[in-house]
Structure 1
Amino acid sequence: MNAPAVLGFASQQYHHYVINRPEYKAQYGHWQTLSLPTEFRVNAVHATVLRTGKVLIVAGSGNDEKQFNAGTFKSLLWDPARNTYKLVPTPADMFCGGHTSLPDGRVLVAGGTQRYEKLAGAVKKAAGIMRVRNESPERDRTFPKGTVFVSPNGHEYASTAAVTVPAATKAGSGKQTVVTAGEQHVYVEAVGPGQDFVSDSPAQYRIKGLSGTDAHNLYGQSEKLTLDKQEYQGIRSAFEFNPDTELYEPVTDMAHARWYPTLTGLGDGRVVTVSGLDDTGEILSGNDNEIYDPRTKSWSKGPDHYFPTYPAVFLTASGKLFYSGSNGGYGPGDKGREPGVWDLSSGAFQPVPGLRDPGLTETSSSVLLPPAQAQKVMVLGGGGVGESPLSTARTDIADLSSAAPAFTPGPDLPAGGTRYLNSVILPDDTVFTTGGSSGYRGRGDSDLLKAQVYHPDTNGFTTAAEPTVGRNYHSEALLLPDGRVAVLGSNPLFADKAETQPGGFEQRIEIYTPPYLYHGDRPEVGAVPQAARLGGTLAVGTARPEAVATAKLIRPSSVTHVTDVEQRSVALDVAGRTADGVSLTLPANPNLLPPGWYMLFLTDAAGTPSVARWIQITA
């Protein structure tokens, strides 16, 4: 009767023996699981590698409405070299915002959560969009959160956020003067529950407390206020995280609130910010893209183009942006899903054809294949729109160096249909891919405990050691300066195959050590300048210069929702060798090598990398 249990235990013991043998590690790599001290466990939704080597892990409210209502927002600094942890004061709910590293090594974090979603049956108070109008040209007017709007029948609705309404504008003169009212929207909610507060027709609302001319010039208009489902809502707030002080510093708010936006660094150091749900739960229309300038810490309007949320938008060597089709999910299935090249100067969008399974790009992974000079972007896996059970094993590759770029087929993913796959560029010019699930948010116990390595030179996958922790929605993976890979997060919908128990957030961290770290001695980086200029040369000290086969600068990851448009590996020419070092030549193109901090890796002929040294690349 005990035989099955005994055999199962023996099988586990033998498996443990096999995966810990040196020969196995040298071929497949090895996994280690970290269980953090209780006080430092956070729901890892966002992760960025800092120029200090530490990892900024942002939870915000962590997809936990109780934490949101309590105003409990968290960020964690993890030092993987020392395995130490530090909680960071978090001034806003950055949950589901966007982020990217700036040229000086700070991290721009923009957007987040103003309000959690409510399903139709859970909505007790009628709510909707109120367009607040200002017919006075004298000045802007600001109304605090909780401002009450009164309907013609006397029902009251309170605003859920502060709103600033611009002054009206004048055109012409004399009898030809035309006054156009200033307008800004705000979300409002009935002060009481029930069907009585539902309004299905357009109406004008007075603002409680105003009288005289103000009451005439300032008012609200709403098309409808209902008990329908309420989507998540975004915030306008933006911050820079300073790796020296290890604190968030507020910068100018965005013009538009965003939840699920993408931030992409440009060759001139600015950041283009696209998409997201606004502060009413509506997806932004595409005429509201913004550009952040870190020199002035301010925002300006960007060119128009509509994207679904968390679109994978990459900077190309031409200075144009490439949208791979990968996205985070919100938005209609028939709009903005087509991949293409976006010209920020003209606003033109050139579709890139050939992507197979074009309806299965939600929660797919995209990566700028190494080296970045090849200008090839790979799309891996993905699923159907919304809670679709469909997923795909498709990988396709777009060659952006072509005059007429198009996707060509890559090898299928070994695990079959996969959503939420994480892809990480390694220093040996391969791409490590891990985790994911075949179903929506791991439904039906569909997590895939598989990992593999893609080889751009052979266009094929090889098997990697299997992880032991399932990863799906809200998971991240990133390259550490020592050449290992950290994998964080996961937010399954259910905890069991029968889907009777709600899922919990995975708070363990896994670290994958690739095979190249089991192949003997590693190259060493000695003396190196802290900064280097585009187009210049870089003298790097090393004990065995003759053993250096390649050198590359790898931009640190800034990843959320398996979307990482920042990581890139730029190959450097080994221009010369001396008795105690090598001379490296840097590309001159800032769109290929955007200004910022990079990890410098030297690798030998076997692909074994050094521990990285941080270098700031300047214009």
Structure 2
Amino acid sequence: MESPTGRSSLLLLLFIVLSMTLHTPARAGLPGTWELLVANAGIASMHTAVTHRDTVVLIDRTNIGPSRRRLPNGHCRRDPHDQSLKIDCFAHSVELHLPTNQIRPLTLLSDTWCSSGQFLPDGTLLHTGGAFDGNRNFRKFTPCHPDQLCDWDELPEPRLAAGRWYATDQILPDGSVAIVGGEHANSIEFYPPRPGGAAQLPFLAAAADEQMDNLYPYVHLLPNNRLFIFANDKAVMYDYTSNSIVREYPPLDGGPRNYPSAGSSAMLALEGDYSTAEIVVCGGAQYGAFLERTTDTPAHGSCGRIIATDPDPVWELEAMPFARIMGDMVMLPTGEVLIINGAQAGTQGFDLATNPCLNPVLYRPGQPVGLRFMVLNPGTVPRMYHSTANLVPDGRVVVAGSNPHYLYEFQGTEFPTELRVEAFWPEYLAGDRGNLRPVIEEAPEVVRYGEGFEVVVSVELPVVAVVEVNFGSAPFSTHSFSQGQRLVKLGVVPAVVGPGGRWRIRCRAPPTAVVAPPGYYMAFAVNQGVPSVAKWVQLVL
């Protein structure tokens, strides 16, 4: 009997095949195509995460007034302190089912405005902090099969030691979660809570300027079990076990990069012996744009790249094709990085940005400086403040949100609240690449660290190179940064042909949880730059 997971994967693959002729073709000869998934999700997604059940959880604020999607009868939220609705019967979170594009409303009980999140090892989404009554709250969402009705679980206990508004979460090798920073919270704490509560991080306070610029710090778990923390234009290597700064990195030229001067950041794919980690930070706003409320101040057009594990690290600067704030950096299954969404002038904040950047660009880390960026096919929907981008198992990137206003505004404004959900199809999904696209026919559902295992694939054309198997995490996307984003290229040996012309790829799981923390990963087979539909694989301790 076929498992529910198998049925879901089959439905997803069928959907991809049917959709190949239904999405908007590339314009002006530029790579990539766009597809409308949902005309009205009901909410503008400020936070987005993809679950191992092939669903996407979209989250907005709860104090924003009525959304365009009602909750089921009897699920109203009652809050006498809410400034918009004392009795709120509207959804502020929804679930998108990828194989069918159906939307289901979810119930939130406390305010999730500018919150943070991370998946736990069992696939549960941990959601932390927010504003007002949600400032010190933990919430959980346990994904379920489509015929079930899972929903948000607001935890009465424990509580965050400090209020966390604009914080960043990062899963750690033991499966716990580090919660870093936030407005008026220059500290770090953990879930599950550790003795002593929050530990102070003076670095975050030192990185603050008059307009803050230390919020939503960029946090990456390095393969040496230290945290790379970037705020404003500064970065440190932090030992979370001893609460100590191990290294201070040189400042990154070009001005502030974090909220509200938001650029974005990604850690490049880990590979080889996994001892080297490179960090990229791109874009940002000019200092003073937020304070002066100027909307036409040009954004930064530079990217900085640093080998964070090098004994004498320095930043390498390069120019993007477009200046950009509020861009999202999405790790693709190939190891390339898609930079999408955002604007070319202004800053983050309500109604503080103009000149939307409609062209995505592809960052190709293996190319030399000057040749790393490729301009892609522009979209037609401005994705400004409070928009998101997430990789999904079929290799597309789901784009949602954009609400640069305090409340929902659909008319009489240049950039209205955006309820449409789109998908961007990278060039590797183009029709002329179809005969290169591998299909994973067999893969384990669970693997342990250092374990050898096999992935069986079929490919229309003969395999002429080593087929990669890459593990991609499912991050929590918000405010131009994907918290917990990670791509790990596994050690593989050349594929050998098996019965029926199928190819058997022998793989080696990541050696330790420092390289890849425990949890669910999208396992992609990549043939000559073309990824398969991923299988969800749980990496366990």
Instruction: Please report the TM-score for the alignment, with normalisation by the length of structure 2.
Output: 0.78
Is the counterpart of residue 542 in structure 1 residue 457 in structure 2?
yes
Alpha-carbon spacing, 1:23–1:380, altered in 2? closer, same or farther (3 Å): closer
> What's the counterpart of residue 355 of structure 1?
252
The answer for the alignment partner of 1:152 in structure 2 is none
Residue 135 of structure 2 corresponds to residue 235 of structure 1: yes
Paired residue type of 2:46: V
1:248 offset after TM fit, Å? 2.0
Give the one of 380, 386, 397 matched to 2:282. Answer: 380
1:414 aligns with 2:321: yes
- Higher Rg: 1
Alpha-carbon distance in 2 for matches of 1:45, 1:408? 31
Residue 428 of structure 2 aligns to a residue whose secondary structure is helix
Say whether the 8 Å CA contact 1:476–1:561 is kept in structure 2.
Answer: yes
Alpha-carbon deviation of 1:567?
1.4
> Is contact 1:67–1:73 with CA below 8 Å preserved after alignment?
no
The answer to whether structure 1 residue 273 and structure 2 residue 174 are counterparts is: no
Change (3 A) 1:528 1:418: same
Equivalent positions of 1:139-178 (< 5 A) are none
Residue 403 of structure 1: aligned partner: 311
CA shift, 1:502, in A, is 8.0
The 2-side partners of 1:406 and 1:303 are apart by: 29
Q: Which amino acid aligns with 2:61?
A: G
Q: Which moved more, 1:571-580 or 1:60-69?
A: 60-69
CA contact (8 A) 2:117 2:127 kept: yes
Q: CA deviation at 1:549?
A: 2.0
**Alignment pair present for 1:344 and 2:240:** yes
Larger RCO of the pair (alpha carbons < 8 Å, separation 6+): 2
| Residue 472 of structure 2, aligned match among 554, 558, 563 | 554
Conserved in 2, the CA contact under 8 Å of 1:576 and 1:584? no
How many residues are aligned here? Answer: 454
Find the aligned partners of 2:128 and 2:195 in 1 and give their Cα distance: 11
DSSP 3-state at the match of 1:551: strand
Alignment correspondent of 2:60: 59
Whether contact under 8 Å (2:62, 2:110) holds in the other structure is no
Q: Give the Cα separation in 2 of the matches to 1:77 and 1:390.
A: 36
**Deviation of residue 546 (structure 1)?**
4.0
Deviations 1:79-102 (A, max 9, x none): 122211111121222221110011
Give the direction of change, closer, same or farther, for the CA distance of 1:253–1:565 in structure 2 (3 Å limit): same
- Alignment of 1:604 onto 2:503: no
Q: Does 1:256 align with 2:168?
A: no
1:120-162 deviations in whole A, cap 9, x for unaligned?
xxxxxxxxxxxxxxxxxxxxxxxxxxxxxxxxxxxxxxxxxxx
The match for 2:121 among 103, 111, 117 is 103
| Percent identical | 26
Distance verdict in 2 for CA 1:298–1:340, change over 3 Å: closer
The answer as to 2:358 corresponding to 1:452 is no
Aligned residue for 1:291?
190
Per-residue deviation at 1:390? 5.0
RMSD: 2.7
Query: Would the aligned equivalents of 2:169 and 2:179 in 1 still touch at CA under 8 Å?
Result: yes
Query: Alpha carbons of 1:573 and 1:444: their partners in 2 closer, same or farther (altered >3 Å)?
Result: closer
- 1:494 to 1:305, Cα distance in 2 relative to 1, 3 A: closer
Instruction: Tell me which amino acid in the other structure corresponds to 2:267.
Output: L
Distance across 1 between alignment mates of 2:270 and 2:93: 32
1:82 matches 2:4: no
Describe the shift of the 1:254–1:465 C-alpha distance in structure 2 as closer, same or farther (beyond 3 A): same
Give the TM-score taking structure 1 as reference length: 0.69
Task: Letter of the 1:539 partner, please give it.
Answer: E
Contact persistence 2:26–2:377 (CA under 8 A):
no
Q: CA deviation at 1:556?
A: 0.9
Match of residue 591, structure 1, among 514, 517, 536: 514
C-alpha separation in 1, matches of 2:27 and 2:181: 47
> For each residue in 1:313-361, what CA deviation from the matched residue of structure 2 results, as whole angstroms up to 9, or x when unmatched?
11110111001336xxxxxxxxxx5211111123222221141113354
Amino acid at match of 1:584: C
Q: Which amino acid aligns with 1:488?
A: A
Specify which of 323, 326, 330 is matched with residue 424 of structure 1. 330
User: How far did 1:418 drift?
Assistant: 1.3
Where structure 1 has 5 or more consecutive residues not aligned to the other structure, the ranges are 1-18, 116-233, 278-282, 327-336
Tell me the amino acid that sits aligned with residue 575 of structure 1: V
User: Does residue 464 of the first structure (1) align with residue 371 of the second (2)?
Assistant: no
Residue 299 of structure 1: how far off its partner (Å)? 7.6
1:392 and 1:355 map into 2 onto residues whose CA distance is 12
Distance 1:358 1:433, change over 3 A: same
Which residue in 2 is equivalent to 1:514?
Answer: 426
Distance 2:179 2:91 in 1: 23
Seen in structure 2, the aligned counterparts of structure 1 residues 239 and 582 have a Cα distance that, compared at 3 Å, is same
| Unaligned stretches of 5+ residues in structure 2 | 1-22, 66-81, 205-213
